[in-house]
Structure 1
Amino acid sequence: MKKVLELRFWALYLTVFTLPMFMRLNNIFLGIFVLLGLASLIFDYKSWDISNFWKSWPVFSFFILAVFGSFYGAELWEGFKYLERYWSFILVPFVIMGEKDKYSERRKQIFMALVWGSLATLIICYGNVIYEMVTRNEPLHYFFRWRHVNHRFTNIADIHPTYLGVFIVTAIIFLIHHKGDRPYLRYATILFLLIGLFQLASRVALLMLLVLVGYFLLMRIAKYRFQSIFILLGLILCLVVFNKIGSSYLKQRLFTKEAIVDDKRFERWDASYQIFKENPFMGVGFAKIEEMRNQKYIDFGFDEAARNDLNAHNQFLELLSRNGAIGGFVYVCSLGFLLLLSMYRRDYLFSLIFFAFILANVTESMLVRIKGIEFFAVFATLFLCGVNPKRLEKE
């Protein structure tokens, strides 16, 4: 039975590997991991320390918010339906923190699973681009046209471009910190991931990358001199290449001020803020948030946003409108605690990851989407296991 239970670690690797791709496949591996983890509590209970679970409060507190939001103003069965996607907030930390030392020892392997998963996803996406160009007899310069970038680039892998961008940036951060064998393979991987970021045409992902470059150049260049120069040169190379041969759509999306200043997403934030002002303490819950927000969109003239049931595209405003001031308070405390604790521990790998995650949440509501929930649940819990970051750098 112990050999079977050992498969829970491989199930976690496969869960993280498939995180940047196909949602159904990823959910299957996640379910297997949780079931095997819970089974280990029954058959190998001596290795468990359930008291460690409370250390993961920055993660499972979002499940508590989801419970309040799900049943506030909703029927019992309807509430359970709303709650369905949020179980990772409590099950993942419960399983990992119960055996936190065992998972801490596998920190490197878990990150490598994300690296390989990001690579595999980009290969799938680029393979589809090549297939479409060949079957349509498209010229080479069509490679960067609108039909092969952003959502149309990632649709084949069933992933949102910004979410894939967050995973890729996380993989790059890890590869910079990780000192292993075959450095040339590592740098080739980083370069490929950089190129993929531009193909995603995600402004948030590129902003995260720029922050990463600035951090290493200003704060850590003495320790990561070669890596910093390599990332900077790779970024400049990608900027030049995509600006020279990229389509007008790609240039307009990435290299013009109007694409950022005129983004209607920022104007739509006011709809969620108005809902919060009208319901400041408890919010409106899941049962009413979509209807009320769509009505606000219509009142403000954002008919397309209403037709597509767009969320707030800002995690803080999402929680304010859904859970009121309590939701906003939990979000600030949880993310702030993780960021400050990582800085206090000098675990700069996770400091950058948490900062990038917070940055992504400025324009995305990542903690209401399965991929974002799962990413946060796994990696925030892994950080809370408390491994010594210096040990990872030596591996």
Structure 2
Amino acid sequence: MKIGTLKSYKETNKFLEVSLFLFAFTLPMWNSINTIFIYPILVAWLLLNNWSEKLNLIKKNFIPLVLLTLIYLLFLSNFLFSDDVSQSSKLALKALPLFIFPLVFLSTPTKYYRLGSIFTGLTFGTIITILICWGRILLDILSKRDPLDQATYFFEWIYTDFNLLKPFGAHPSYVGVMVVLVIIVLMCYEGFQKFRAEKVLYRLTLIALIFFILQTNSRISFACLVLFLCYYFLRNFNKRSILQLLVLFVVLFLLSLKFDYLFHKITSILNKDGEITFDRFPRWLGIWEENNRFGNHWIGVGKEKAQFIYNQSYMKNGFDLALRENYNAHNQYLDFFVSNGIIGVIVYLFALLFFLYNTHKNIIAISFILIVIFFSVSETIFGRSVGLIFFSFFYALLFSNFKNQPLR
């Protein structure tokens, strides 16, 4: 059966499909609620009772399963570096999605669930998340003595960034890149052709999603969105597609001017002389220098001593906010280098490149891995549970469904 073809309910396992739908639906929402829905997925996977099929698929997907297991072992290695068994155990438990989702998806035939159902759950969950965030903003505006005056702050920091996602306590960049992925799915997934035919609803949905990305004030989300739109419109390379892209860029530029905090963050990456003024770059240099004093370039120093190296760097270089807030490296590659050395970086890069090589024919899969590659430059994505879940869930799901198979 071709990828993207909607399967009938008779061919699917309803318990597994509902569990996956609910998990995808809660992905943009509260992390505690989302984590709960991992358990029904595990139970449904066990109840399939198709062990011969599972073993056969594990053999076929042995390399990606090993690669993701090796990434999980990078977290388990903290037991070797730390005497605090409790903290190492918490870290191992936090990183479990790196083992659970690959095991489930890389050993489960795609006939037991519909990919379209998972994408639908993710899309609806994202829309509900947006409506809740906008609803809170509206209530806050209406609760003020002068609502019209308060509404003028809609484009400013008081109603964007972390304040935008206050109902969920979520990090704007993580939600932002997830919304970018939803946009890519809506625009490219074959199973959503009927929805795209409803042009008014489809375009209004895309406008709302893009507007929300701007509200997150996330540079990486904005960059990923722009790169995807460039590829999407220019792949056919005709006058119409070029004109559409130019119009879209003008609109995005004007809107980013309105969201002055986002515009400032984008323009603060380089100065007029072409020098890097990105606020995290000096911190990375400081961490690199400090790691040369205290670190181990081959095997790293473990997660706890890595944070000690970060804090030492922040203290010596006057990064008071980073020291006070106990910032991580804000760079996944650098974090693996300090925590797990060159070995850790190689394992991570190999996992990314292996996925890229085996799914490069599919626009959704390649977009996902490119998002992860770029996002890893500006965030320690595995430092948060939502990052671990986002990576492991979509890595295993998309690899299983799109390995060496184009969408259309």
Mapped to 2, the partners of 1:225 and 1:351 lie a distance apart of 25
The equivalent position to 2:264 in structure 1, one of 242, 247, 252, is 252
Figure out how many residues of one structure are paired with residues of the other and give that number: 383
Matched, 1:133 2:141: yes
Give the match for residue 5 of structure 2. none
Counterpart residue type for residue 141 of structure 1: T
Given that 1:73 and 1:285 are in contact with CA atoms closer than 8 Å, whether structure 2 keeps it comes out as yes
Determine the C-alpha separation between the residues in 1 that align with 2:75 and 2:121: 29
Q: Deviations over 1:84-120 (max 9, x none)?
A: 21000111111122213336x5222222222222222
Cα deviations by residue, 1:329-372 (Å, 9 ceiling, x for unpaired):
111111111112222xx112211221122111110111221111
Alignment partner of 1:198 is 2:189: no
CA separation in 1, counterparts of 2:117 and 2:245?
23
**In 2, are the aligned partners of 1:70 and 1:79 still within 8 Å (CA)?**
yes
The 5 A counterparts of 1:42-121 are 43-49=49-55, 50-52=58-60, 54-55=62-63, 56-102=65-111, 106-121=114-129
Matched letter for residue 156 of structure 2: R
Taking structure 1 as reference, are residues 349 and 250 closer, same or farther at Cα in structure 2, changes over 3 Å only?
closer
Query: Is the contact between residue 362 and residue 402 of structure 2 (CA under 8 Å) also seen in structure 1?
Result: no
Matches within 5 A, 1:298-317: 298-317=315-334
- What residue is the counterpart of 1:370 in the other structure? 385
The yes-or-no answer on 1:163 pairing with 2:174 is yes
Deviating more after overlay: 233-242 vs 275-284? 233-242
Q: Which position in structure 1 is the counterpart of 2:311?
A: 294
Cα distance in 2 between the residues matched to 1:204 and 1:317 = 17
| Change beyond 3 A, Cα 1:215–1:81 | same
Q: 1:354 to 1:266 in 2, by over 3 A?
A: same
Residue aligning to 1:264 = 279
**Cα deviation, residue 256, structure 1:** 5.5
- How far off is 1:195 after superposition? 0.6
Q: Relative to 1, partners in 2 of residues 1:123 and 1:215: Cα closer, same or farther, differing over 3 Å?
A: same
CA distance in 2, matches of 1:62, 1:356: 18
2:351 alignment counterpart: 334
Identity of aligned residues (%): 25
| Aligned residue identity for 1:157 | F
Matches of 1:14 and 1:25 in 2, distance apart? 10
Distance change >3 Å, CA 109–CA 360, structure 1 → 2: same
Unaligned residue ranges in structure 1 (runs of 5+): none
Cα distance between partner residues in 1 of 2:90 and 2:255: 47
Distance 1:220 1:76, change over 3 A: farther
Q: TM-score, normalised by structure 2?
A: 0.85
In the TM superposition, residue 124 of structure 1 has moved relative to its aligned partner by 1.2
Q: CA deviation at 1:17?
A: 1.5
Deviates further, 81-90 or 251-260 = 251-260
Contact 1:58 1:335 (C-alpha < 8 Å) held by counterparts:
no
| The 10-residue stretch of structure 1 (48-57 or 83-92) with the greater mean CA deviation from structure 2 | 48-57
Are 1:114 and 1:167, in contact at CA under 8 Å, matched by a contact in 2? no
> Aligned in 2, Cα 1:107/1:317: closer, same or farther, shift over 3 Å?
same
* Contact 2:173/2:218 (8 A) holds in 1: yes
Whole-Å Cα distance in 1 between the matches of residues 235 and 268 of structure 2? 29
Q: CA distance change for structure 1 residues 109 and 234 in 2, over 3 Å: closer, same or farther? A: farther
Identify which of 161, 186, 190 aligns with 1:175: 186
* SS at structure 1 position matched to 2:364: helix
Matching residue of 2:394: 379
How far is 1:165 from its partner?
1.1
Q: What's the CA shift string for 1:111-148, capped at 9, x where partnerless?
A: 22222222221111111111111112342322112110
* Closer/same/farther in 2, CA of residues 5 and 107 from structure 1, 3 Å limit: closer
Distance 1:255 1:131 in 2: 32
* Partners of 1:150 and 1:201 within 8 A in 2: yes
Distance of aligned partners of 1:141 and 1:389 in 2 relative to their CA distance in 1, 3 Å threshold: farther
For residue 319 of structure 1, the aligned residue among 329, 333, 336 is 336
Point out the structure with the larger helix share.
1
